[in-house]
Structure 1
Amino acid sequence: MQTLPSPPGAAVRPDRSFSTPAVVASCIGFVLIGALQSLYGPALPALRQEYGLSPSGAGLALSAHFVGGVAGVLGFDRAFGRIGNRTLLGVSYTLVALGGVAFAFSPGWPLALLGALVTGFGFGGIDYGLNQLFATGFGRRSPAMLNILNAHFGIGAIAGPALIGLFGADRYPAVFTAFAVLAALLLIPLGGVRDRHPGDLPADAAANAAGPRARRTAALLTVFVVLYVLHVGVEAGVGGWEPTHLEAVGHSAAFAASATSVYWLMLTLGRFLVAPLTLRWSEPVIIAVSCAGTALCLLAAVQPGLAPYAYAGVGLFIAPIFPTGLPWLRRAVPAARRAGALVIAASMVGGVAAGPALGKVIELFEVRAVPAVLFVLAAVCLAATWWLARATRAAAGASGGPGSPLG
């Protein structure tokens, strides 16, 4: 995969993985994947009409996208460290461009699903690749930069449906094509991405280093996966079921939809706001406060009058967990590269499973139970964070390193 050479003035500092133009392009890349993930839902009415699909049949487009995303994360993890960073990102952007065009202009539904699958594969490569590089490429500023990067995902998630609403669902091919062109243009700044970072370890070396502490590694990784699956389940659960819950407790449909938009806006804003805090507070402290605040807000959402404002608070508090946890994971788990792929893939699975799982809870109880169920998940996230903080503090103390302030 060929990428253009770095333009003059775009040199990468020896202790960084990105030039300044490449950082900007990476943030635009996260706007791109955030928008792509959010486009399928608003396009469903047009897809059903064009291809004569049932609701569940049309919903397969998003499922194909997520299946491709998980495969992309795991597949690109296998190549990470063996193939240059520019090549991996270049292949990912190319797959998004090709898949987006195929989805937009396919003559039949099977080819459209294949386009969504290919787009998802590129999506997973971008998501994993940039998160992994930002987690290691900025020194102690990496948690701040990860929050800024992931905040741009939220900008895309807000912008995607807005564009479909502006142009109409029947114009979804033009919107998908525009984002495919953007993906192709993002190949240009890849010359500002360092092909190898001095701190990178080959995957085999990372795995071998973990050998003597395999049991501790397995325990830490398991709890990190639980934290990521459940917190993304809470995030997706609020986004998916907040409108239904608010309508059930007496709010209008229009108000419920607006409140849900505010939730996503607060989630995006929260990542920007926490970025400077990561330079003062450790990752365990930020994530513990985030989990506690999320749980308290969900408890408040049980009250109908407080629910819209409480959900906005959930968005603000839950925002930093995903990006802030990645640098902590890398330090805590010896086989960090494989661990990063696993938790990112697991978070995608958590997002997919949240909707059906909460739907089953509603069938068994009622929609009013949604915030209570999500509160339990957030409380488990807090317990997992507490356990991880104690475990990593004990390990750091045993090795003479600095410990976590929790515990």
Structure 2
Amino acid sequence: MATLLLVIIYLAFISLGLPDSLLGVAWPVMQSDIGAPLETAGFLFMTIAGGTIISSLASGKVLRRFGTSKVTFVSVLMTAGALLGFHFAPSIIWLFVCAIPLGLGAGAIDAGLNDYVATHYKAHHMSWLHCFWGVGATLGPIIMAQFISGQNSWRNGYFAISGIQLALAIILFFTLPLWSKVKNNSNITLNGGTEESKSLSYDEEVNEIKPLQIKGVKLALTSFLFYCGVEATVGLWGSSYLVNVKELHAAHAAQWVSFYYAGITIGRFITGFITFKISNLTLIRMGQIIALLGAVLLFLPLPSIFSLVGFVMTGLGLAPIFPCMLHETPTRFGKKHSQTIMGYQMALAYTGSTFLPPLLGFIATHSTIGIFPLCIVVFVAVMLLSSEKLNNLLKKKDLTTRKDTSQQHFNH
């Protein structure tokens, strides 16, 4: 029973990933069809991301009141309706209107399912959960590419994805009783007295600390800002770059961007196995270097096929960075402060994905989309430098602590 529900949750996370990559791959066709400037995609993306942030912040109260199962069902239904709205949208204004429920639905699914899996399932299930987001994000461009190449119709692509979301919503509706059954059979204590007392003592503790004053926190926040900035920017503008600069057909460009998301998905799947052998810090550094090499391949004036290799390398490089940075937080800053700092990191991650892609779009509109690979190189380089500076700072801090401990033992 618990396994069946886990499969349904994985399906719901595929539905979370499906719409995330659609706008970027469809935009080269949408732009000419609607007659909007290039930068409009950035503002649409910002609207979706803004809705995601709002629903994520409000998710705690909503989930406590209605429960994860109902919130997930309504959210998937909401995204299905929003995507259907994209299909019928007669003007750019209606695209912005539909972007709001699309973002609100996505944020509620993300927060609700992460919390549910963390509470009711073992830790390794969380790793695979985020893999299934990548499955959805990879399938989205592939499906859209089929409609762009066959009928040159981005609207039908959105209609097809909307149909998939609706089918998932129907499955969620008929399996609503399963959630409560699994919860009742779970051996994990939920919201018991001990947990409540923990959270109360935690709140008292948080009021006494100022996490931003801890050495290295601001460098960590910078890494998160630019990580999500890179991931979202490549997804949103990669297709436009391939169409306008490399002169690829929009359908081929969409397929190439799907390989980028496939790189992230496969990379995270593999990372789940190799974390037992290689440390988080090494995986973060390796990922950043691979992503930087991929970005450099995009930047160099090489034949188009090297752009495909660059997209795949960038995706593979990005794969381990985000989960490993999150997992490293308690080690870097101590368990006492990790929950507060984790919240700051997620806020900066959303900020990066909300503002950096539209910023590139604004600059590209007043210059050229050819600046895309240069921006990616700069974003990855800043992430790498801030991460390495943080590592060096923590090494010095660790050495100082060891020296102080040795001196105390010597004095005794």
Q: Which residue of 2 aligns with 1:325?
A: 325
Q: Which residue of 1 aligns with 2:237?
A: 241
Instruction: Verify the 8 A CA contact 2:24 2:239 in the aligned structure 1.
Output: no
Q: Which residue of 1 aligns with 2:222?
A: 226
Per-residue CA shift, 1:197-230, capped at 9, x if unaligned?
A: 7896765543433455424666555333322220
Q: Quick one: distance in 2 between partners of 1:247 and 1:177?
A: 28
Give the alignment's TM-score, normalised by structure 1.
0.73
Q: Quick one: distance in 2 between partners of 1:304 and 1:48?
A: 26
Write out aligned runs for 1:5-404 (5 A).
10=1, 19-40=2-23, 54=36, 62-77=45-60, 83=64, 87-88=67-68, 90-98=70-78, 100-101=80-81, 104=84, 116-132=99-115, 142=123, 145-166=125-146, 168-171=153-156, 172-173=158-159, 175-186=161-172, 188=175, 189-191=178-180, 192=182, 196=190, 204-215=200-211, 221-246=217-242, 252-253=248-249, 256-305=253-302, 306-329=306-329, 332=333, 334-362=336-364, 367-389=369-391, 394=397
Residue 263 of structure 1, CA deviation: 1.8
What is the one-letter code of the residue matched to 1:289? M
Residue 90 of structure 1, CA deviation: 3.1
Number of residues paired by the alignment?
Answer: 375
Instruction: Verify the 8 A CA contact 1:96 1:118 in the aligned structure 2.
Output: no
Q: Quick one: distance in 2 between partners of 1:398 and 1:133?
A: 38
Q: Quick one: distance in 1 between partners of 2:370 and 2:357?
A: 15
Q: Quick one: distance in 1 between partners of 2:155 and 2:401?
A: 61
What is the one-letter code of the residue matched to 1:152? F
Secondary structure at 1:317 match in 2: helix
C-alpha change, 1:54 and 1:200, in structure 2 (3 Å) is: farther
C-alpha change, 1:248 and 1:115, in structure 2 (3 Å) is: closer
C-alpha change, 1:128 and 1:300, in structure 2 (3 Å) is: same
Residue 57 of structure 1, CA deviation: 7.5
Instruction: Verify the 8 A CA contact 2:264 2:315 in the aligned structure 1.
Output: yes
What is the one-letter code of the residue matched to 1:196? L
Residue 315 of structure 1, CA deviation: 0.9
Residue 268 of structure 1, CA deviation: 1.7
What is the one-letter code of the residue matched to 1:370? F
Q: Quick one: distance in 1 between partners of 2:154 and 2:233?
A: 25
What is the one-letter code of the residue matched to 1:283? N
What is the one-letter code of the residue matched to 1:272? F
Q: Quick one: distance in 2 between partners of 1:126 and 1:107?
A: 24
Secondary structure at 1:301 match in 2: helix
What is the one-letter code of the residue matched to 2:266? L
Give the alignment's TM-score, normalised by structure 2.
0.72
What is the one-letter code of the residue matched to 2:271? V
C-alpha change, 1:164 and 1:379, in structure 2 (3 Å) is: closer
Q: Which residue of 2 aligns with 1:13?
A: none
C-alpha change, 1:186 and 1:278, in structure 2 (3 Å) is: farther
C-alpha change, 1:256 and 1:73, in structure 2 (3 Å) is: same
Instruction: Verify the 8 A CA contact 2:295 2:310 in the aligned structure 1.
Output: yes
C-alpha change, 1:291 and 1:334, in structure 2 (3 Å) is: farther
Q: Quick one: distance in 1 between partners of 2:41 and 2:227?
A: 27
Residue 352 of structure 1, CA deviation: 3.1
Secondary structure at 2:299 match in 1: coil
Gaps of 5+ in 2: 148-152, 403-412
C-alpha change, 1:294 and 1:98, in structure 2 (3 Å) is: closer
Residue 182 of structure 1, CA deviation: 1.0
Across the aligned residues of Structure 1 and Structure 2, the Cα RMSD in angstroms comes to 4.3
C-alpha change, 1:375 and 1:174, in structure 2 (3 Å) is: closer
C-alpha change, 1:206 and 1:391, in structure 2 (3 Å) is: farther
Instruction: Verify the 8 A CA contact 1:92 1:123 in the aligned structure 2.
Output: no
Per-residue CA shift, 1:226-271, capped at 9, x if unaligned?
A: 2222011112222333345456765644665543332222122111
C-alpha change, 1:307 and 1:41, in structure 2 (3 Å) is: closer
C-alpha change, 1:245 and 1:173, in structure 2 (3 Å) is: closer
Q: Quick one: distance in 2 between partners of 1:328 and 1:363?
A: 38
Structure with greater helix share of residues: 2
The structure whose Rg is larger is 2
